Amino acid sequence: MTEHNWRLSGALRRVERPVRYAGGEWNSRRKDWNAAQVHLALAYPDAYEIGMSNLGLQILYSIVNDLPWALADRTYAPWGDMEREMVAAGIPLFGVESRRSAADFDVLGFSLPYELNYTNVLLMLDLAGLPLHGRERDGRHPLVIAGGSAAHNPAPMSGFFDAMVIGEAEEAIVEVLDAVRGSGWRVGGSTGEREALLRGLGRIEGVYVPTIDGAGARTVRRRIVEPLPPIVTRPVVPFAEAVHDRAAIEIQRGCTRGCRFCQAGFIYRPLRERPQEEIRHGAAALLASTGYDELGLLSLSSSDYPGIDGLIRDLSCSHPTVRLSLPSLRIDSFSVGIAEAIQRRKGNLTFAPEAGTQRLRDAINKGVSEDDLLNTANDLFSSGFSGMKLYFMVGLPGEREEDVEGIVRLAREVKAVARRAGGGRARVTAAVSTFVPKAHTPFQWAAMETRDSVLGKQRTLKDGLRGINMSWHDVRESWLEAVFSRGDALLGPVVERAYRDGARFDAWSDQLREESWLAAFEAEGVEPGAYAHREREPQERLPWDHIDVGVTKEYLWREYVRSRDGEITGDCRSGACAGCGLMETGSCVARVSAGAGVGL
Amino acid sequence: MRIRFEYARVEPGQFVGHLDLMRALERAIRRAGLPVAFSVGFNPQMKVAIAAPLPVGVVGRRELMDVQFAEDVEVEAVVKGLAAQMPAGLEMLGGVAVDEFAPSLQATLRECEYEVVLRADAELVQGAIEGFLGREAVVVERKGKRGRVTKDIRELVRGLDVVVGEGEVVLRMVLAAGPTGGAKVGEVLGVLGLGDEIVRVERTRLVFGE
């Protein structure tokens, strides 16, 4: 046994859940290192079990490993106990399959799903022995790139990455790796060649290179992949229980509903549906290659998928021992058909009314009616389901006291319906999150409510919802998210300081060290309230204006004004085109193929 | 029909916890498309029973697992089919049909044998062993259902000796196991004062009785 393996083995013996670092999972590719021309380490800045539930990473892993000339390995943020062991024993961050040091890869590609992962990015770079800042890295070091939802506002983390992929990365990742292959540079090579390579990356559509593009010298257009990439039929199956221990198929990407708080609904447009035949074949192959007994049909709004009840029925018939899960059901497109097609009735179905009154639901463009909700509850419980989970949000723009009281009233009415239709066993649970204004949404100009106000509302709900199991999101985390989601480059030094002060795994409530963050803001002379609680001016230049997601800023502003007037904007899938901007650029494939004209 | 499978858990799978291992075995059975039997009731479970959980970090050389099938199957074909679905670190060694009404592995387990490869001074280890065997009682603390409890494991350690190879010191143990209670390999190593010296821990054999 080599000295390195001996030290690693000793560390694994002492830490919690060592399987997080052990590799060897079913369907992991473990390709021959020397046979590959380019080596990529896909880095997920959170614990292994969180990273293994991320479908995006599985997609990129699969695509890159299918290339004969490339190799993709995986690495995750080591938990605190493992971090201490690694530092003490001199073990650098490593890929779980190859066991090679992250610094030996040509490209280190970070997924950025959530702003509260930022300190973990620095943790991983530090453990890899790499300089944290892009400007400090040279030919010896891997290219450090990033992509994912949070990268749509690249400003706060732009100092730490060499390049950032905006949008859907399935094609861009291959183009980036191909550029590396074609260049004269590999890790450990010449700085001049690495710089030339970086300049070349900036010419790939969707790639933002901070050291060259600066803070918005050039507009970067988001990558849109059409048609959807093939279903991953051989995903890596973790040993450890991932947050979602199931097979997953993306049945559609994008959304046409236009709920005004929802960033995903805007940054993943246009809507692209996966053909049913493809889903059926993919499901069979996926279940056979993994042995999972649960299959998730993923999208932003699953019950909107045309023929969803027929699809569920077919899948239930073909795979009778497999549980089907449908996150993201819409209250107004749920039907008895869907309820009956999901054969195994154990567990919850989840719906998101979000706001407690029609007025506020209309303002956020989630136009579902109370009748819709109560009918859905009735259908659900009469069909034999035992649980319904409701998502609500507090702190929405324009929210009044009666809206919060409305949540209590609504939840109680659903509970009454549940009792009547489902009997004593019927359970209603509520999860209350806090509104965070996100970039690239109509609410990107809105202010986040103060923490005290939010806490007061959570208390009101807790008192009013006795008898209904209620969970709520930690307001400290919502607040931090609000600072970073509309942050600029001045926040980079804040992340670094908080990290050096011990901040890690901020998305885990029991790990969040608020003192470190507050001290970091103060030391860097940054006022967090100016990011979270300040309403933006209509003409103000926003730090993400140089990122073109396809939906225009004018459209978002129009929607913001409409929300104040309580005007609903309809579903453009079935109704008129609302003119969000994708049609003009030819990116709205659904409408372009149907030959529909531009509306509004 | 009931089949008793013999399997090994080796690098890199030795850090998989017991529940995760059970899940991995169930998924392998599903991938192999085997007609395994399920328990009845609200939450049907696959009828898979093992002899004793393998502690995290311990390699298992000859582990046993009983699987109940819903119909008659051909043993060789089933062993081959399952072997093809084993993830890295799990090796299918063989299978044999057993009497459906025979008592369970868990109920008939009596002893477990372990080998611990150490990077340590052989004399020191020998000294620690003699010290252990010379004691009348060896009391350890365990987590019980209501806080910590103490247990005297001296009588549960049925064999303890050391073998010296080239550059390697191998500690061998025979520990009582099963429904009447047993000693844990980690506990014995703790009492002997061995931790950082461990290169590898292996469970080499399971011993059954009436």
Of A193-197, A439-443, B44-48, least confident by mean pLDDT is B44-48
Contact criterion met (CB < 8 Å) for B198 and A10: yes
pLDDT, tens digit (0-9, with 9 covering 90-100), for A455-496:
999 999 999 988 889 999 999 999 999 999 999 999 999 999
19-78 in chain B: CB under 8 A from chain A = 19-21, 23-24, 26-31, 33, 42-43, 56-57
A325: closest CA among A295, A291, A292?
Answer: A295
Average pLDDT over every residue of A69-76: 98
Tell me: pLDDT of A594 over 70: no
ipTM of the complex: 0.90
What single letter denotes the amino acid at residue B190? G
**In this prediction, what percent of chain A has a pLDDT beyond 70?**
97
Q: Residue A241 is nearest to which of B15, B20, B85, comparing CB atoms? A: B20
pLDDT tier at A600, thresholds 50, 70, 90: very low
pLDDT at A343: 59
Strand (E) or helix (H) holding A551? none
Q: Strand order of the sheet with strand A143-147? A: A70-76, A38-44, A107-111, A143-147, A163-165, A207-208
Contact criterion met (CB < 8 Å) for B19 and A289: no
pLDDT at A329: 85
Contact criterion met (CB < 8 Å) for B13 and A22: yes
pLDDT at A162: 98
Q: Could you write out the DSSP letters of every residue in A458-509?
A: HHHHHHHTTTSEEEE--HHHHHHHHHHHT--GGGHHHHHHHHHTT---TTST
What single letter denotes the amino acid at residue A389? K
Local structure of B149: helix, strand or coil? strand
Q: How close is the nearest chain A Cα to the Cα of B164, in Å? A: 18
pLDDT at A344: 63
pLDDT at B208: 94
Of A350-354, A422-426, B66-70, B196-200, least confident by mean pLDDT is A422-426
Tell me: pLDDT of A599 over 50: no
Q: Residue A13 is nearest to which of B29, B33, B198, comparing CB atoms? A: B198
Q: What is the chain B residue with the closest CA to A9?
A: B199
Tell me: pLDDT of A3 over 80: no
Tell me: pLDDT of A345 over 90: no
How is residue A579 written in tokens?
């003119």
Distance in angstroms (rounded) separating the CA atoms of residues A438 and A458: 21
pLDDT, tens digit (0-9, with 9 covering 90-100), for A556-592:
999 999 999 999 999 998 888 999 999 877 778 665 4
Residues 6 or more apart whose Cβ sits within 8 Å of residue A281: none
Q: Could you write out the DSSP letters of every residue in A176-219?
A: HHHHHHHSS--TTS-HHHHHHHHHHHTTSTTEE-HHHHTTTSS-
Distance in angstroms (rounded) separating the CA atoms of residues A393 and A402: 14
Half-sphere exposure of B143 (CA within 13 A, CB side): 0
pLDDT tier at A48, thresholds 50, 70, 90: very high
Determine the Cα angle at B9 with ends B8 and B11, to 5°: 130
Strand (E) or helix (H) holding A592? helix A589-594
The maximal CA–CA distance of chain A, rounded, in angstroms, is 73
Q: A204, exposed or middle or buried, with CB in 10 Å at 0-12, 13-18, 19+?
A: middle
A19, A86 contact by CB (below 8 A)? no
pLDDT tier at A348, thresholds 50, 70, 90: confident
Average pLDDT over every residue of A427-455: 96
Residue whose tokens read 């809105």: A446
Distance in angstroms (rounded) separating the CA atoms of residues A182 and A238: 34
pLDDT at A556: 98
B181 or A220, which is more confident: A220
> For residue A52, how many other CB atoms are within 10 A of its CB?
25
- Buried/exposed A359-384: b ≥16 CB within 10 Å, e otherwise: ebbbbbbbbbebebbbbbbbbbbebe
pLDDT, tens digit (0-9, with 9 covering 90-100), for A280-299:
999 999 999 999 999 999 99
Average pLDDT over every residue of A323-352: 78
Q: Residue B12 is nearest to which of A10, A17, A23, comparing CB atoms? A: A23
Residues 6 or more apart whose Cβ sits within 8 Å of residue A428: A377, A387, A388, A389, A390, A411, A414, A415, A418, A468, A469
pLDDT, tens digit (0-9, with 9 covering 90-100), for A352-388:
999 999 999 999 999 899 999 999 999 888 888 888 9
Distance in angstroms (rounded) separating the CA atoms of residues A496 and A506: 13
Contact criterion met (CB < 8 Å) for B27 and A24: no
How is residue B6 written in tokens?
């013999």
Question: What is the β-pairing status of strands A348-354 and A387-394?
Answer: parallel
Contact criterion met (CB < 8 Å) for A1 and B199: yes
Contact criterion met (CB < 8 Å) for A24 and B29: no
Distance in angstroms (rounded) separating the CA atoms of residues A447 and A454: 13
Contact criterion met (CB < 8 Å) for B56 and A18: yes
Strand (E) or helix (H) holding A12? helix A3-14
Average pLDDT over every residue of A97-123: 97
Average pLDDT over every residue of A163-177: 98
Contact criterion met (CB < 8 Å) for A346 and B42: yes
Q: Residue A290 is nearest to which of B12, B27, B57, comparing CB atoms? A: B27
Contact criterion met (CB < 8 Å) for B26 and A291: yes
pLDDT at B12: 83
Tell me: pLDDT of A337 over 80: no
Contact criterion met (CB < 8 Å) for A239 and B85: no
Average pLDDT over every residue of A219-241: 93
What single letter denotes the amino acid at residue A539? Q
Tell me: pLDDT of A595 over 50: no
Q: How close is the nearest chain A Cα to the Cα of B177, in Å? A: 23
Q: What angle, 0 to 180 degrees and rounded to 10, lies between the N-to-C axes of helices B122-134 and B185-192?
A: 110
* Contact residues on chain B for A17, CB-CB shorter than 8 A: 17
Q: How close is the nearest chain B Cα to the Cα of A40, in Å? A: 22
pLDDT at A233: 97
* Mean of per-residue pLDDT scores for chain A: 93
* Contact residues on chain B for A240, CB-CB shorter than 8 A: 16-17, 20
Contact criterion met (CB < 8 Å) for A291 and B85: yes
Q: How close is the nearest chain B Cα to the Cα of A164, in Å? A: 34
Distance in angstroms (rounded) separating the CA atoms of residues A38 and A180: 7
Model-wide pTM > 0.90: yes
pLDDT at A187: 97
